[in-house]
Amino acid sequence: MLNYSRLGYARLQALSLLDGLGTLTETGVLRGLSDMDESVRERAVLLTPKVARNGAVSDDLWARLKLLAADRSPRVRYQLCFTAGQIIGLNGCNSLPVILALAENPCCKRRC
């Protein structure tokens, strides 16, 4: 369902179902992060910490998350900021500052 459904809502539900059953994998999250539907991408970002090992994500997952810092959907970018505070990026660094630095959206920048 996650790989073949034409309906974004069905793919969203498939991600949630895999999470609920405890069978969510990094491959499933990566598929969700690359989805064309913003709701699926948003849910995949939300579920990313569940596939992290001791808070750290793999290189592939980290690379995909960094790309989402420039996602066209504000919902995806917003969820990414929350999720980035829960995971560790490459070299054991906190990922939130990296994500915020990559975001060119003015609402993600700190205002004086």
What's the predicted TM-score (pTM) here? Answer: 0.82
Domain ranges, residue 54: 8-108
What integer pLDDT is reported at residue 110 of this predicted model?
A: 46
**DSSP 8-state code for residue 57:** P
Residue 81 CA to residue 53 CA, distance in Å, equals 19
Amino acid present at 22: G
Residue 92 belongs to a domain:
yes
- 82: in domain: yes
Q: Is residue 55 part of a domain?
A: yes
pLDDT of residue 96: 64
pLDDT averaged over consecutive 10-residue blocks of the chain (112 residues)?
A: 87 96 96 96 96 88 88 90 76 60 55 36
Distance in angstroms (rounded) separating the CA atoms of residues 46 and 54: 16
Count the domains in the chain. 1
Q: What is the pLDDT of residue 111?
A: 40
| 44 assigned to some structural domain | yes
With respect to residue 3, please indicate whether it lies within any of the assigned structural domains.
no
Would residue 2 count as lying in a domain? Answer: no
DSSP SS3 for 10: helix
Which of these, 42, 81, 76, 101, lies nearest to 109 by C-alpha position? 101
Is 83 within the bounds of a domain?
Answer: yes
Q: For residue range 76-103, what is the model confidence (pLDDT) as tens digits?
A: 988 988 888 788 765 545 556 666 666 5
